[in-house]
Amino acid sequence: FILQSYVPSTFIVMCSWVAFWINRDGIPGRACLSITTVLSLITLIGSTNAKLPNVSTVKALDVYFGICFVYVFGGLLEFATVIHLSHIEKATAAKLKARKEKAEAYLKMVAPQREMAVLSELETSFRTEMTHRKISSATRTVSEHALAIFDEYKLMQSQRSLVQAAEPENKKRSLRQLLTASVIEQYSRVLFPSSFVVLQFVYWIYYGLKSYGPE
């Protein structure tokens, strides 16, 4: 059973890990590989159990097949999760980009009009003030300069707030969504093989000691 069951099932599991290094945009290739490994392992389990006698207890081979099936099916679930998160990230990025472009276009359109409106308002106010009050030219110059700086500051603040309005949602999402598609891919490339190797040692040590231990 080593060559006919254990070795093929181990290679099937290792083949399923290849999907972790395939680009997420290559959906057909990853889907074909993941589904093929699952079906191959199911076929191997069925053909092997057909050769063994029916017993009521759980055999060591059944445990090993169960471990392999968990890893192969886990790779398929990982693929589905990564593809789903990738679509969500692309839609979110496109939405944020559209909002930012819309805000920048609005600022480019509104800024000249706002400047003209401020200048017109200043001109009207100073004409009215010069008509009803007698103030020196030096005082008038200082007042005009101070008001112009104040209005320009308010305009800059409004522009900054509009530009930043398209980004807080992205910042909040980056803090909330720690498990992105790329992060899951990187962890899967390490956790799946390393945990499988650990289970291999545990499995063979346990059943090796059990076979040579007292009955």
- Residue 57 CB burial class (10 angstroms; 0-12, 13-18, ≥19): exposed
| Mean pLDDT, the chain, whole residue set | 75
**One-letter amino acid for residue 198 of the chain:** V
Show the tokens assigned to 127: 């004409």
Which is higher by pLDDT, 111 or 198? 198
pLDDT given at position 31: 87
**Beta carbons of 140 and 122 less than 8 angstroms apart:** no
**Beta carbons of 149 and 39 less than 8 angstroms apart:** no
- Residue 145 CB burial class (10 angstroms; 0-12, 13-18, ≥19): exposed
Instruction: Please determine, for residue 178, whether its predicted confidence score (pLDDT) is greater than 50.
Output: yes
**Beta carbons of 13 and 71 less than 8 angstroms apart:** yes
Instruction: Kindly list the distances between the CA atom of residue 79 and the CA atoms of 30, 68, 127, 135, in Å, as whole numbers in the listed order.
Output: 7, 17, 71, 77
Q: Which of 8, 10, 29 is nearest to 19 (CA)?
A: 29
pLDDT tens across 121-170, in order? 655 665 565 555 554 554 555 455 555 555 555 555 555 555 555 454 44
∠ Cα 6 7 8 (to 5°): 95
Confidence of residue 64 (pLDDT cuts 50, 70, 90): very high
| Euclidean distance between the first and the last CA atom of the chain, given in angstroms as a whole number | 22
pTM score above 0.85 = no
Number of C-beta neighbours around residue 121 at 10 A: 12
C-alpha to C-alpha distance for 69 and 46, rounded to whole angstroms: 12
CA 77 to chain centre: 16
pLDDT given at position 172: 47
Instruction: Please determine, for residue 173, whether its predicted confidence score (pLDDT) is greater than 60.
Output: no
**One-letter amino acid for residue 181 of the chain:** A
**Beta carbons of 118 and 151 less than 8 angstroms apart:** yes
